[in-house]
Structure 1
Amino acid sequence: MSVNQTNWAKKCLSPWLLLLTLVVALLPLQAMAAQAQATVSKNVVAVNQVFQLSVSVDTAINPDSVDFSILSPDFAYGQPSVSSSTSLINGTMSRSTTWTIAIAAKKVGTATIPTFKIGSSQTTPITITVLKSSQTNNTANTDQSNVRMTAEIDKNTVYVGESINYRVKIFIGEQLSQASLSAPSGDGLAVSQVGQDAQNNIVQNGRRYLVITRNYQLTAQKAGNIVIHGSTFSGSAVRGANGFSSGITVPVNKNARDISLTIKPKPTDYKGLWLPTPDLQLQQTWQPQVSNPNEITTKVGEPITRIISLRIKDVAQSNMPNINLTYPDTVRIYNEKPEYRTENGYSVMILKQVIIPRQAGNIALPPLSINWWNTTTAKQQQSEIKGLTLNVTADPTANSQFSPPAAMTPPTSAATQPIKTMASAGIWPWTTLVFAILWLITLLLLVKKRQQPMVTTAIATTQSPDIAAALETAINDNDPIKVQTYYQQWRQQQYSQLTSQPQLLQQLDDEVKAMMTNHYSTLDSQWNNQTLLKLLTQAKQIKTIKHTSKTLTSLDPQ
């Protein structure tokens, strides 16, 4: 190659070498010039309103390169979603990585989304304006309508001691978790929840809501003008979830409106127990049913049950009156524990009293009257139920010890103490021995004469099996009323047989009395029926021995 040719080659290659050098030099500069950018879906939001934050960089990079924990002082945020893309345009290849995350501002004012550092690049800070719910646009109001509350009371004026119903409803239009509802409050108010929450679904303006209803009973304890502070609802809602983000858990807090309440004092001229209510119902029934409302004919020892029902509207169960009736000493009274329940705004008390006459004659059972203040008419009223006259006939077989005085006593020891035996058995052991000897002699004679079937038939004979069986069934069922009734009938039938064993008869009477006392006692205890069953077995054995002795005497050839 000549010198001219060499110079010509150098001149031709120099531009290409320069271009190649520039390209190689610009490659690291292009990598270092990757741009990072942060954007938001809106920059004016409401407190706890969810919006989207996107952070992107125009290169492929590790998905964990962005630290979102720097948002925590001013923002709540969810889990980010990451996407990567690669494109080739006009022979030029480009790559990018984007992070999308749902966030919500925690407080009113100005909040700043800080700078995110990605490799050697970083984003520009973003300023967000955070307003109250009432200052936001329609979109924010829609978010707030996802959960709303209403509260109402029956009336705004009550008397001291009167109760009203407070009803709160929560309308829920989104998925919530960890939800709770607090009770209303007020100075001088006793608050208690009534029943269980009710749930139903409704559609309003084309949107479906779950409605939860809860009732509270508010009882005024002092006069004056007060404010009922509404119930408070709190929970967490998941918002902003879509195909690019898992959403964010946002706290939801709602307060029911405050309500003014006027409480009137008790009238100075009112007499009796203070019961303010718009309605009081006092009723009674008798078992067995009474055809004549003024009197009934019965026998000594036969029970009659009085059932008193008291229904009071807008009165707490704790303010229900105690019913105390004074009965004459000629009857014994067993009071069951009162039953309480609430139905349709009424507090209901059911009281059962078992009345057992102790002696014959006319016995007047007392009436009952209750004074109350009608809050509708603002006047004092009185409700009353009549008494009843018992025409009690004598029972010649009744034992006066069976029916003790009318005052309620604790369970006697007869139900738990073992049966005591008499120190001296009297003439009966000797009589039994004589009968046994006669029975042996007669048995020998009957064997010789082959008359055994007659003796067997005589021994197997029993008397009044139906009453005895019914009595045993009632004892096994622990039914005190049936035991009392059947025992009186059985005792009357067996009285002539049992007079020879006064101690056993007394033990039977005491045990039935202990059963009745234990069943109607205010103490929680269980009566043991085995003692009474054993005493009945002893009574049957005495009856069988006596009947057998009479039969053998009639067969004696002498």
Structure 2
Amino acid sequence: MKVTGKRLYLYVLALLLLCSSAQAALEAQIDRHQVALGDTLRLVISATGNEDLGRIELSELEQDFSILQRSNNSSISIINGRRSQTRQLILDLSAKRVGTLQIPALSSGSARTNAISVEVSEPPELPGGDQAVVFEAEVDRESVYVQGQVLLTLRIQQSINLDSRSVTELKLDNAFVKELEQQSFQRNVNGRPWLVHEIRYAIFPEQSGTLEIPAQTFSAREALPQRSMFNRAQGRLVRRNSEALRIDVLPRPEDFPAQATWLPAKDLKIIERWSSPPEQLSAGESTTRSIQLVAEGLQGAQLPPVLFPSTAGLKYYPDQPEIMESELSTGLVGQRQDSAALVPTAAGNYHIPEIRIPWWDTEAGILREAVLAGRDISVSAAEGLSESSADGPDSLQVADPTVAIKTVAGGSAPASNQLLFWQALAISSSIGWLATLLWLWRSSKTKRVSPAQSLTRSASPANESSSYKKVLAACAANQAEKTRQALLLWAQHLYPQGPAPASLEEFAAHCGDHDFSNEIDRLNRQLYASDNSQWQGQDLATCVTALRKKIRGKSTAPAEQLSLYPSSGV
């Protein structure tokens, strides 16, 4: 079927519409999951696609909640040149009854939000009479495991306007304190409106026993009507103290594995990501493996590093870990991500072992394990190595995947431009090779040379000396990538008879030099890290110079012995 320009345009348009609709999504969030009858609750519905938030059906929501106020918000962000817009529908709600209520899944077109559960308790008992300010402290549990999380809430409830509000700084011995996001909402008790402000802390006791939280002090001044621009009345000073609290800190259970990192959490998950499918690797080609731990009720710094199991034929080059924290209504969520470049050194079938992270379920009081299942991968053989005809170090082109690592999807250059560039490069390289083969054929017709002369021509001192100088220049400039390219080119000139080493590891192994192997390993670690600007090439240059003297010392040997590969009798 012939595809006209107009029909192709329609196909592309339909594809774009399909992709945009697939990416469209609605998300619902609330500021609290536990409220009292009469409290206000904020529901935020966010849209990133073309959803019409004004057409969301709210009748099912209004069966259990009253909508007190409704507003809209919109924001635009530009990241790496890509523009995105987020629109929000903000609803202030009030529960109609006590119990476990459900905010239903709300829809706009084909997109739907997630359903959310809310626990609604009886309205609190507040003092009557003329007491208009209440200050109290409460914790979410009376006992906690050592290094586990306990939430402290300091709650200020006022039925009058206050100025200059302040609360004493929380200081605890033998515990780490992390201040969380503060919350404010309205509360209606017996027809009397109150403004509620909550200050929350995540506390992590560092030793077992009894943790004492001293009484905290709240102070403010009553806000009075302003008499004039130059005469502002000072209201009475209001001061309130909370009760001191005690928490029983439990020790680490005896049945928890002795060698494992102690992780008391509400939940812990382990997530694996790959920059490219590991099943499509070739020898010498790299892919980045990232393993993320997500723990509810722990700090990010408490999570242990994930060690990548050593496997023969697979090399890992770890990157710097990423440690972060986020916040839920139930407290902190710690996250740690460990990444490493995985490079198979040879073709074959490999098994990547499973990973097990033991953790203690603080809700159920039992030992659990987060398990990342192992997997089998098949690595194909690497392509051959090719050399550019250009002379400078910047122009070295190496076809072996250990030298030119595949670019991870998501780079700054458009994929179409990269494809055109590589297609043009492949065509020009093919023409160059055909011209070279034609020249060699014509030369063989006009003049015959001996095997020794042929060896001398392919391993000419000028080529070896030039590539050796490129190695030293790249080392002197501390340029890790150019050093790797120059080393592989130098290896070609040092070993002209047989196949050149396919990777730096193979080059170092056949040289049999311990110091050179260590420097190659250090170079690889820097190359596969996210930042190789600190690499210094001086030590590698020293090893290369010594290795060259060692090899050149054998240059008077018969032609069949001029090889980096030791014979079986050595």
Name the TM-score, length of structure 1 as normaliser: 0.46
If asked which structure has higher relative contact order (CA below 8 Å, sep 6+), I would say 1
- Larger Cα Rg: Structure 1 or Structure 2? 1
Name the TM-score, length of structure 2 as normaliser: 0.45
